[in-house]
Each structure stands twice: as C-alpha cells, then as structure tokens.
Amino acid sequence: MTTGAHTMADAAAMRRALELATRGPSRGVNPRVGCVILSHAGDVIAEGWHRGAGTAHAEVDALSKLAPGAAEGATAVVTLEPCNHTGRTGPCAEALVEAGVARVVYAVADPGDHSAGGAQRLRDAGVAVTGGVLVDEAEALLEDWLFAARNRRPRVIVKWASSLDGRAAAADGTSQWITGPAARADVHRRRSRADAIAVGTGTVLADDPALTARDPGGQFYDAQPTPVVFGRRAVPADASITRHPHAPMFFTGTDLTADLEELQRRGIRSLFIEGGPTLASAFIAAGLVDELLVYLAPALLGGPRLALGDLGIASIDGAQRFDFTSIERLGDDVLLVAHPKQAADTDSRPARLDPGPDQHR
C-alpha cells in the first residue's frame, strides 16, 4: 500500500529511524540522524544512528552491519537527506551508491552549505529518491540544528519572570522569588534543553548566577548549557560561572549578529537568554529573538526595575508583534510562550548592546 510517493513500510521505518536518532547527542555541530535499511521485501535488515562528530554517519553505521552485497536493491530510510560532502567522514550519498542501494527515503532536506545535494547525487547515480516523509516529526527533532543551519546563527530564546506590572525586581533590587517552584522548575528543564545560556556582565556582578540546570531536588541535569556572558566589564575570577561544568564563553556584545555567528561556528544551536533587562532588550531590539518565555507572577511590585528596557520604539506603529503559541498555568504563575509574528526588519548596521547611563559593563 502506498501513501503519496512512499509505502507504509517506508513510514514505519522512518518512525523507527527517528527513534534511533534520539540516541545520538542532542548537542554539537552534527545533527541527530537515524537510518533503517529495508530489504526488497520490506523487511528491516540493518539499523544505525550517528553518535557524534567524527563517528560514522547513520547511513554508514547501518551499512557496516551488513555483509558485502547485502544492500543491493535495498531501501535506505534516513531522517535527514544523505550528506554530499567529505569532512571527518566521507559523503553518505556516495556510500549508499557504492553499496548498491536502489531507493533512498528521507524526511528533511539538508540545508547545509557544504553538505546539501546528496539527493541529487543519488539520482544522478540512478537511485530512486523520495523526500518529505514524516517531515513534521523530523523537523521537531532537529529544530535547533535546522534553524542554525538555515539561518547561520543559533535559535534565540529570551526568558524573563516578572510581576503583573512588568517588574523583574522590587525597588530595592530583590527578586528571589517572584515566581513559584513550578515555574522555576520549568525554567531549569528548558535550560537543560538549550546548548547555551546567556547573561550580561551586569547580572553576573549583581547576582553571581551559576547558570546551571537543576532538577527540583537541586541535582544537575545530565545536559548542562554552556554559559555565555555578554558585556565589557571584567568578571571576578571566583564568579560562580567559573565553576560551571562547561567553560564559559565571553563576548563584548558590541555586535550581537557577529557574536551569534561565532556561537554557531562553535557548535551552539540554541541560546537561552536569562538576563538581565539590558541584554534581553538588546536582542529584542535587534530582531534576533525567535521565542519569548514570559513567566508572570500574580503580584504587583511597582518601582523602576522593569523586566525590559528601551527597545528603541518611538510609536505604536513600530511595535514588535508576537503570536502567543502557548499559555500554561504553572502553580500560581502563568507561562506565556510567544513567537515573532513576522520577520523583523533588518539593515546593514550591526546589532549593538549599548548600555544606558545607569548600566555598568
């Protein structure tokens, strides 16, 4: 039985390939990829997945489990279009051709500048190729990696917690705890899923954050985000971030676009902006934010300590608009998740982090 251009067996194998892909590392330069090889009769004869940079890609891993000639006439089902470049390993498209695979079914096209083109290379060699199978599921699995490959920068998530009147702290500067334990636990779960977590130097100096991801019992999650600090002030040698499981990265914040490009080159695919208001506002004003996480506590604080600073918006016509994609109750608090309604206007000027007169960097 067929569904569009692929068979039910192809779809079942793709679901298995997606499961296999989750066994690979969720962070780093390379994507998580799974592969299932089906015989001409549609039976699974080999499985493979990518285990990280420098190791065999999923297709090659699966092929290595077959005897010579066993892949002749077979179908390779893979979550990402087979690569078409030579890095630490050779091109997967060529390995499939050499193995005698007759069909290749993939979910998502490879958007990489150097790795794309595998599907065409296969077709040129006479291999039948079908793409777009379970594409939504694969896009969800590879969301951050695909975003970074397509946009040449990490996906940026900005988070803040505030009172109903938009204050991030009381007038005396105290902010622990605006939100309750359920909201704080949610923040830490989301931190653990990000490649990196960022703050400004003002936040480091004022709050000395650890920038770790901890479960409700206070234990570290297995996956920890790399700490990133933006700003021009020196960070004390004994700051908590210096004891983080990952060495912190430092950027001046004078060109946020260039900083993001450098983070992507270092393998960072998602960046969680933790604070403070100056840093969050700079990324928002520059149109470099892809998701907002706003934790609202049922409290009023008043005073000058707003969750966001100046965004450079002079009138309502210039407002940045967002769509709410999720509204969730977390204990007494509410989490609002929002995404930009449309792409922000861009120009040739670099995005700059210019602290105001009351900020120290």
User: Which residues form the catalytic set?
Assistant: 59
What is the Cα–Cα distance from 222 to 87, expressed in whole angstroms?
29
Yes or no: say if 306 and 175 are a contact pair by the CB < 8 Å rule.
no
Quickly count helices (H) and strands (E) in the chain: 10, 15
- For residue 141, CA distances in Å to 31, 261, 267, 314, 347 come to 9, 22, 17, 39, 32
DSSP state of 163: E
What is the Cα–Cα distance from 175 to 83, expressed in whole angstroms?
48
- In the block, tokens 């997945």 appear at 49
Pick the closest to residue 322 from 307, 344, 353 (CA basis): 344
- In the block, tokens 């091109």 appear at 91
Per the structure block, which two tokens stand in for 287? 């149109």
What is the Cα–Cα distance from 156 to 311, expressed in whole angstroms?
17
Point out which residues pair with 230 in neighbouring strands: 200, 251
What is the Cα–Cα distance from 302 to 218, expressed in whole angstroms?
31
196 in the Ramachandran plot: left (φ > 0), alpha (ψ -120 to 50) or beta?
beta
